Structure 1
Amino acid sequence: MAESNQPMTSDFILVGLFNHTGPHLVLFSLVATMFTAGLLGNTALLFLIRADSRLHVPMYFLLSQLSLLDIGFPLVTIPKMAAGFLLGEGSISFGGCAAQMFFLMLMGVSEAVLLSLMSYDRYAAVCHPLHYPVLMRRQVCLLMAGTSWLSGVLVASVQTAIALRFPYCASRTVDHFCCELPALLKLSCADTSAYELALSVSGVLILLLPISLIVTSYGLVLRAVLHMRSAEARHKALATCSSHLTVVGLFYGAAVFMYMVPGAFHGPHQDNVLSLFYSLVTPTLNPLVYSLRNREVRRAMAKVIGRGGCRAKR
């Protein structure tokens, strides 16, 4: 029968993003370059935060958590995609597909929650500088980090468990470069419309609530910035906020469209592009936008490089 289930151990086939034509080879090289740059940038940031005691402050603690997520996010998808492109074999085991889906949701939800909490940190620093040491004391920072990771684990566990209970038909070809939930649901023999509706509703809590916190926090920050007397300080704060909001907008915009807009309104090509935004583009941009442009980080980098130069002379 065409709709009979195959054994749960059957492999899935990932279609991938690129073929071996000239333009696609260029795009693949660009993806590989961004992947490498993102890993190096986030790893360097983690090292600097750990090495320099001046960066042992709440903002950089939260940024270290973001860097951990931004290292894990691309590692879940890009190496498998690259292997499929280079070796011409896009098969992935059922267990591997389940693991990809779980870790993608874990990283995505954790980052969504963490970005919203980071916006509160900026609000506290700009709008309540005298109370900042109390508002962002060590216990609060640890609670923020734990909340973001725990949220990711809980949502990923529930969503993956539900998705794997659906029966899958004879076709095991996933029209995507990774085993992401919306793409996998399209292969199910069962009616998934109720679950997709529930997924869209849950997106209100997972995505829209953090977005509302970010908008509120940065709105209050911008209001405080506009009342600053120093034009230079105002310009610097506005530039920082706008760059932060741009990256946050890319991440949340792609995630909202993927998970809250019904699948009938976007095709596989759009899904691939959207997934690249929050699994590769924003993890690559985050260390540049949030940290490596900061004066404190540049000083820490110069200090570490200086130490390396002194050791080399010895």
Structure 2
Amino acid sequence: MHVNDTIPDGFILLGFSDNPRLEMTLFVAVAVFYTVTLVGNTTIILLFHLDPHLHTAMYFFLTHLSILDLCFTTSCLPQMLVHLWGPGKTMSYLGCAIQLYIFLGLGAAECVLLLVVAFDRCVAVSSLVWVSGVFGTLVRSPTAMKLPFCRNHQVDAFVCEVPALIRLACGDTHSNELQISVIGAVFLMGPVLLIAISYGHIARAVLAIQSHEGRSKAFRTCSSHLAVVLLFYCSVTAVYIQPRSHFSQKGGKFLTLFYTVVTPTLNPLIYTLRNKDTKGALKRLFGKDKISSLD
């Protein structure tokens, strides 16, 4: 393997280029999920601004989550769809750097926001979410883009992200791996532990509910919330904590699809569009008959 001492002209994002049929199937799936993400999150943002009944701290945060999901998916999915559709899979160095900065920043912000939503819905901490995203990308992105890349510039991934770039590097990446593991632990393992504590308190409160129907409904709601949160955190953790591990290399591309495609689609469905406040807002905005299918 040779090391390129100059800034590369670009990268080749391999994806599943060795399996065109799988790529076409993924193209259709990603296109459907992205469309649902756009429609669902845009609906939530519009409802929050148009319906005074939703002007609460909870929906303020859920709207921020929708904005994050829209920006996060748009930073990578259009490019992913183009690469899945045809043989052209090249991406310029500048394009890769821009995507990396945005992708990491929004991803770090979402990690913190999901933690905030689980614990508290105070408007005052919203700035912390966005600041944490900026911090996350400023720490990790510059060092990743300065790695000594191998001359083939073939990134075995769908998007430009730090673990894939570390695996492409030919030089010593120990410090980079340590850095991403430490920061990943702060943004991933820490929130998972705190969210588990939060849901432990919620479970204890639910068990205190006298009505069997009330307990069942509460558990269904909480379990769906927790499942989506764990899907996001666990898939990101598996890729980022040990970027050169065998599991990260082999399953990284599939796991990337979970936190870039699946969870941003599920967030509006699980957190917002299923609850009675949002259904009420939709009925007031469009009329009861048109929204009856949501009930």
Aligned twin of 2:195: 214
Residue number in structure 1 paired with 2:30? 31
Shift of 1:3: 2.3
Q: Does 1:170 align with 2:154?
A: no
Change (3 A) 1:27 1:218: same
* Aligned equivalents of 2:94, 2:21: Cα separation in 1: 34
Correspondence for 2:107: 108
Task: Find the aligned partners of 1:251 and 1:50 in 2 and give their Cα distance.
Answer: 27
Tell me how far 1:4 sits from its aligned partner.
Answer: 3.5
Q: Give the CA RMSD over aligned residues.
A: 2.0
1:198 Cα shift?
2.6
CA contact (8 A) 1:38 1:284 kept: yes
**Displacement over 6 Å in runs of 4+:** none
Residue segments in structure 1 that go unaligned for 5+ positions in a row: 122-135, 310-314
Identify which range, 194-203 or 245-254, moves more after superposition: 194-203
Aligned to 1:274: 255
After TM superposition, give the deviation of residue 186 of structure 1 in Å: 1.5
Match in the other structure for 1:299: 280
The structure having more radius of gyration, on CA atoms, is 1
User: How far apart, CA to CA, are the structure 2 residues paired with 1:288 and 1:196?
Assistant: 35
2:162 corresponds in structure 1 to 181
Secondary structure, in 3 states, of the residue corresponding to 1:263? coil
Give TM-score scaled by structure 2 length: 0.92
Percent sequence identity is: 39
Change (3 A) 1:251 1:239: same
| Separation in 2, partners of 1:270, 1:20 | 16
Residues of 2 paired with 1:45 and 1:19: CA distance? Answer: 39
What residue in structure 1 maps to residue 2 of structure 2? Answer: 2
What is the letter of the counterpart of residue 220 of structure 1? H
- Shift in CA distance, 56/17, structure 1 to aligned 2, threshold 3 Å: farther
Residue 174 of structure 1 and its aligned partner are, at CA, apart by 0.6
What's the TM-score, normalizing by structure 1? 0.87
- Does residue 68 in structure 1 map to residue 49 in structure 2? no
Unaligned runs of 5+ in 2: 291-295
Deviation at 1:120, TM superposition (A): 0.8
Given that 1:114 and 1:144 are in contact with CA atoms closer than 8 Å, whether structure 2 keeps it comes out as: no
- Aligned residue type for 1:300: A
Give 1:44 shift.
0.8
Q: Distance in 2 between matches of 1:297 and 1:58?
A: 14
**Contact 2:27 2:85 survives alignment (8 Å):** no
The residue that corresponds to 1:252 in the other structure is 233
Instruction: Find the residue that maps to 2:62 and give its secondary structure.
Output: helix
Q: In the alignment, what sits opposite 2:87?
A: 88
State the alpha-carbon separation in 2 of the partners of residues 262 and 21 from structure 1.
Answer: 26
- For residues 149 and 287 of structure 1, the distance between their equivalents in structure 2, rounded to whole angstroms, comes to 20
Separation in 2 of the partners of 1:186 and 1:14?
Answer: 13
The 1-side partners of 2:17 and 2:33 are apart by 16
Q: How many residues align?
A: 290
| Separation in structure 2 between the aligned mates of residue 18 and residue 302 of structure 1, nearest angstrom | 45
Say whether the 8 Å CA contact 1:176–1:268 is kept in structure 2.
no
In the alignment, does 2:269 pair up with 1:288?
A: yes
- Could you say which residue in structure 1 is the equivalent of 2:224? 243
How far did residue 18 of structure 1 move?
Answer: 5.5
Q: Contact 1:9/1:95 (CA < 8 Å) preserved in 2?
A: no
CA distance in 2, matches of 1:180, 1:207: 16
SS at match of 1:178: coil
Measured in 2, the distance between the counterparts of 1:54 and 1:38 equals 23
Question: What's the CA shift for 1:194?
Answer: 2.6
What per-residue deviation string (whole Å, max 9, x for no partner) do you get for residues 140-184 of structure 1? 41x322111110111101101111222222121111111110001
Alignment-mate amino acid for residue 271 of structure 1: G
Preserved CA contact (<8 Å) 2:13 2:156: yes
Residue 293 of structure 2 is matched in structure 1 by: none
**Structure 1 CA distance for aligned equivalents of residues 248 and 258 of structure 2:** 16
Partner Cα distance (1:3, 1:106) in 2: 28
Q: Is contact 1:19-1:85 (8 Å) kept? A: no
Q: Secondary structure at the match of 1:92?
A: strand
